Amino acid sequence: MGNRPAELKALLDSVADQKGAPIQVVVVGNGAPLPDLPEGVRSVELPENLGIPGGRNVGVEAFGPAGEEVDVLLFLDDDGLLPDPETAERVRDAFAADPRLGIVSFRIADPETGVTQRRHVPRLRASDPERSSQVTTFLGGANAVRTRVFAEVGGLPDAFFYAHEETDLAWRALDAGWGIEYRADCVLHHPTTSPARHAVYHRMVARNRVWLARRNLPLPLIPVYLSVWLLLTLLRRPSRAALGAWFGGFAEGWRTPCGPRRPMRWRTVWRLTRLGRPPVI
């Protein structure tokens, strides 16, 4: 978004400091002008903000259709930083060791406290963020994706703009037989923040939750999944304004196009269940 030049420079420095083969870098200005960038860093300035998934898809295409010029793509938020110069090598080793590993989700830790927020551990059993495991989704601003995943299942859903785009891609990848791993030893430093700081948070979380279900779930699971999330939202007792925005987004998710529907197979439902997160939670 062009409003964190110092943090962006620190991130790019931490990427340049990674051991092993040099990492090719592209920075996408998502509707904002870019600052001066180090030599060799590619840049794309978009005339308007395409949202998180749209901007990341543009970054992928900078490396050819579906990113075909490279084997693996790292996605890193501009206010993050890789504190360990061995991270890239760990990622390379992980993909080399398992040819069906499609996505690696990093552990996000606050640079001052070292604490990982519970919401940044992409599984239900999140009490121990330093335990690596197979998971059913991943963190959008701290991950690595094998480019063959994009070639097989497509990119992130542009229309989502913000919220749940990672789970949409994750479910499609799992349905195609790819694995997703949360790696606690691959760390991105990122300041502790609340997702609700974004003005559109409650509306888009609800709208995209409906789109996610309509696009990906077998028909019998759609009402179950959305009923569970409605109940959880009410139990969290949001403010009246937040709840109004949430219900507005929920209704919008039903009355607006969600994109192509490709329901996952029942064996994928079972796979998600065995991994600890059936697609109704």
- The enclosing domain of 142 has a CATH number of 3.90.550.10
- Using the 3D structure, point to which of 167, 193, 219 is the last residue of a domain: 193
106 lies in the same domain as 36: yes
Domain that holds residue 219: 197-263
pLDDT at 3: 87
pLDDT at 192: 85
183 lies in the same domain as 202: no
C-alpha span between 140 and 190 (Å, rounded): 13
43 lies in the same domain as 178: yes
252 lies in the same domain as 130: no
Strand ranges (DSSP E) for the chain?
Answer: 26-29, 42-45, 72-76, 101-109, 133-134, 142-146, 179-189
pLDDT at 31: 95
C-alpha span between 60 and 147 (Å, rounded): 9
Residue 235 CA to chain centroid, in angstroms?
A: 25
183 lies in the same domain as 212: no
Residue 255 lies in a domain: yes
pLDDT at 2: 84
- Using the 3D structure, point to which of 168, 193, 218 is the last residue of a domain: 193
User: How many angstroms separate the first and last alpha carbons of the chain?
Assistant: 32
248 lies in the same domain as 118: no
Residue 128 lies in a domain: yes
57 lies in the same domain as 180: yes
* Burial of residue 89, with CB atoms counted within 10 A of its CB: 0-12 exposed, 13-18 middle, 19 or more buried: middle
94 lies in the same domain as 213: no
The CA dihedral of 196, 198, 204, 208, to the nearest 10 degrees, is -80
Among residues 214, 219, 218, 250, the alpha carbon closest in space to that of 232 is found at 250
Residue 277 lies in a domain: no
How many folded domains does the chain comprise? 2
Among residues 183, 14, 4, the alpha carbon closest in space to that of 83 is found at 14
167 lies in the same domain as 203: no
Residue 275 lies in a domain: no
Residue 279 lies in a domain: no
pLDDT at 199: 58
180 lies in the same domain as 201: no
Residue 62 lies in a domain: yes
pLDDT at 247: 96
In this prediction the pTM is 0.95
75 lies in the same domain as 172: yes
Among residues 239, 211, 218, the alpha carbon closest in space to that of 229 is found at 211
170 lies in the same domain as 71: yes
- Give yes or no for a contact between 48 and 42, defined as CB atoms under 8 angstroms apart: no
Low-confidence ranges of the chain (pLDDT < 50): none
